[in-house]
Structure 1
């Protein structure tokens, strides 16, 4: 009987039982490196959220908005780290990820993040440059960084980290290293018990 229970819990954590939440998935703890990333929220917040995301993913856009809303309302309760996972079937997701990383190098990751999700329907090179200009970025440096191997390697490492953490789609959320699988509203309950 315990073997069946274990299998049921693991299947639930793999997405067949989305309402199980993080408690049922505790056996799947994942550590992900975030020391090189700027957190959204207080650096000493009690909870740590790592989100693997794609700037052309509609569900990712909704999760980003929800996390931003919760973070503004409860700035010291949790911090968020973003990891890139541009999906191959989203033609401009990688370009957006490169733009976000180029902005990070100029200290503007989160403002760029917000603008990319606000403009998911137009992530053309022209619009990415317009967003960078609106954020006051050095445009020549922005273009150099977007094209650099260093920035591309950050995104590739994020994707490797996501694969190692068990990612099967975006958004993929870890709360204190535990995969979160839930429906709308469950995220608030998981972060603000």
Structure 2
């Protein structure tokens, strides 16, 4: 379920103007990427495609393409490299080339810049222009966006071992039916396999769910007693009972769930009544917006935003690129130094 968000701007150009026809070629295999029609006619050697003085280099981690670096002498070739990263059809290259020739964009690219491609925050684009006249060179880098641990707030709502290779950061709303579905299907397996998955929960109550804020605050009260997970289980198990209630009547239900979860109910009631964790919940929402959470549930695997947490192939790809010996995050960060 999605929520309205303000339009996010590049320093000089609306990012969506560049990616309006973008596909999703990143995280494909090198063979799939190099076989795209937009690269037809280029000579391929390993993970590099060349034509004249233009080179298009694939960065791979875990066997998948995580970034594409283009170094070109013309905007036409620049568009080919960017288009390959975005999975564009050849018919869309002229439009992309036109967008890349925007004077404001090219002026900004003289200094070099890096930004997200869209409000979903799943991909990055970096641009740089050097030289003058016939010596002008264009560089572009499109890559998956992997958020560092520092982008997320600390939370004590954690399960799984600290050495688990996969960290799942989950932004959730207790009144969201899709979050209940996740809790009933994927979450039990994640929690059971604690050696593989370390799950971190963040509050992200949606404003149009009238009991979501109260439930989030109540779960934080349970967390204060070290009982977040059993209380959250109670909330989702009794989803049909409390979600239709008037918000003033819901706390009585929460108290019953707190008792069932083994909490000190007197302390829990006082915590809920005083709205002790209102500011904490609001801070988690703001933190979620900063990492481009647009709805619930939103799941990040080792910092990589998943489009479908239930897709086993997507999860396997995300795990492969983030846990590779030369991880996607380190490869991408090294490339981005060229543009800063």
TM-score by length of 2: 0.49
Write 1 or 2 for the structure with the bigger share of strand: 2
- Give me the whole-angstrom Cα distance separating, in 2, the residues matched to 1:51 and 1:166: 13
Rg (Cα) greater in structure: 2
Kindly indicate whether the alpha-carbon contact (under 8 Å) linking 2:191 and 2:199 is maintained by their aligned counterparts in 1: no
> Highest relative contact order (Cα 8 Å, sep 6+), 1 or 2?
1
Match of 2:270 in 1: 144
Match of 2:81 in 1: 2
- Give me the whole-angstrom Cα distance separating, in 1, the residues matched to 2:198 and 2:143: 21
Deviations 1:93-128 (A, max 9, x none): 111111100000111000011111111222222211
RMSD: 2.8
- Number of aligned residue pairs: 184
- Which structure 2 residues correspond to residues 16-35 of structure 1 after superposition, within 5 A? 26-30=144-148, 31-34=151-154
**Local SS of the residue matching 1:174:** strand
**Which of structure 1's runs of 4+ aligned residues deviate more than 6 A?**
none
**Local SS of the residue matching 1:121:** helix
Structure 2 counterpart of 1:62, from 181, 187, 195 = 181
Deviations 1:162-187 (A, max 9, x none): 10010111111111111111263337
Does residue 78 (structure 1) correspond to residue 157 (structure 2)? The answer is no
Kindly indicate whether the alpha-carbon contact (under 8 Å) linking 1:25 and 1:178 is maintained by their aligned counterparts in 2: no
Write 1 or 2 for the structure with the bigger share of helix: 1
- Give me the whole-angstrom Cα distance separating, in 2, the residues matched to 1:192 and 1:52: 19
Match of 1:111 in 2: 230
- Give me the whole-angstrom Cα distance separating, in 2, the residues matched to 1:50 and 1:139: 29
TM-score by length of 1: 0.82
Cα–Cα, structure 1 residues 85 and 8, in superposed 2: closer, same or farther, change >3 Å?
farther
